[in-house]
């Protein structure tokens, strides 16, 4: 977990998943999964990937789809998939609409922001650097570096702890069922970003509301209600 010192007297925070939330990278993940998992008899379209892959840890994915391989081979296959993804994503990521404006408003209001992801650190840093956001985040929490990744709440609890935030004064942004489960289990109101799942699916997973962009009026209303004051 990467952390930068911060005094957070009011306990507020915005916490963001990375893939599919800061940027719509999931089509690139789908391409990488199909390239690497195809020889093992697996083929994914976007709907299946949203149901069975996105938001989950590499450990759980490899256990499900490579059950006959020894652990070291599973790890090697997943590493290959991530290498393919990084080659596709380098220089190709763009922020979701409204993200930069929301981060600017958070900075002006001295609200710390945290990244919470199941992605490997190399992937997370590639995307954050590609978006020019590495210096914006006070902490980067990697699920695979913890005893439990999403959908367990531990990554979000670690994100709160890193900046002395409290769940009732924080908002999370997620695009997957596993991510929403993790954030809501940590007690954080969560916005479901409609990059892969529809409104009904995100609400059923536990999202407080859904949005196509970070500057949707409902998003700003929720952030101001939870964090208090103006943003």
C-alpha distance from residue 40 to each of 61, 131, 152 (Å) = 13, 33, 28
SS3 state of residue 210: strand
Look up 17 and say whether it is catalytic: yes
Look up 24 and say whether it is catalytic: no
C-alpha distance from residue 213 to each of 61, 93, 97, 108 (Å) = 28, 16, 5, 20
Detail the DSSP E strand segments found in 34-164.
113-117, 139-142
Tokens describing residue 19 = 């893939």
CA dist., res. 49 & res. 53, Å (int): 5
Tokens describing residue 165 = 């935030």
Give the residue carrying structure tokens 């083929």. 43
Q: Check 19, 26, 175, 216 and give the catalytic one.
A: 19
CA dist., res. 183 & res. 198, Å (int): 18
CA dist., res. 93 & res. 90, Å (int): 7
Identify which of 223, 187, 183, 206 has the alpha carbon closest to the alpha carbon of residue 98. Answer: 223
Q: Around Cβ 203, how many Cβ atoms within 10 Å?
A: 15
Give the residue carrying structure tokens 């969560």. 190
Q: Which residues are catalytic?
A: 17, 19
């Amino acid at each position: 977990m990467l952390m930068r010192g911060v005094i957070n007297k009011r306990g507020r925070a915005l916490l963001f998943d990375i893939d599919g939330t800061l940027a719509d990278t999931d089509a690139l993940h789908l391409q990488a999964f199909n390239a690497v998992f195809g020889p093992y008899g697996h083929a994914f379209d976007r709907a299946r990937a949203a149901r069975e892959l996105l938001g989950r840890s590499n450990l759980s994915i490899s256990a499900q789809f490579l059950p006959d391989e020894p652990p070291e081979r599973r790890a090697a296959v997943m590493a290959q998939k991530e290498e393919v993804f990084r080659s596709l994503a380098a220089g190709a990521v763009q922020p979701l609409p409204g993200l930069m404006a929301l981060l600017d408003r958070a900075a002006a209001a001295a609200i710390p922001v945290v990244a919470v992801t199941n992605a490997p650190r190399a992937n997370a840093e590639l995307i954050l650097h590609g978006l020019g956001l590495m210096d914006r985040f006070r902490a980067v929490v990697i699920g695979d570096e913890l005893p439990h990744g999403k959908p367990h709440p531990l990554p979000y609890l670690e994100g709160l702890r890193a900046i002395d935030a409290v769940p009732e004064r924080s908002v999370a942004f997620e695009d997957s069922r596993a991510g929403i489960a993790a954030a809501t289990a940590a007690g954080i109101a969560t916005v479901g970003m409609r990059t892969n799942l529809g409104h009904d699916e995100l609400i059923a997973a536990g999202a407080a509301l859904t949005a196509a962009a970070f500057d949707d009026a409902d998003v700003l209303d929720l952030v101001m209600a939870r964090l208090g004051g103006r943003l």
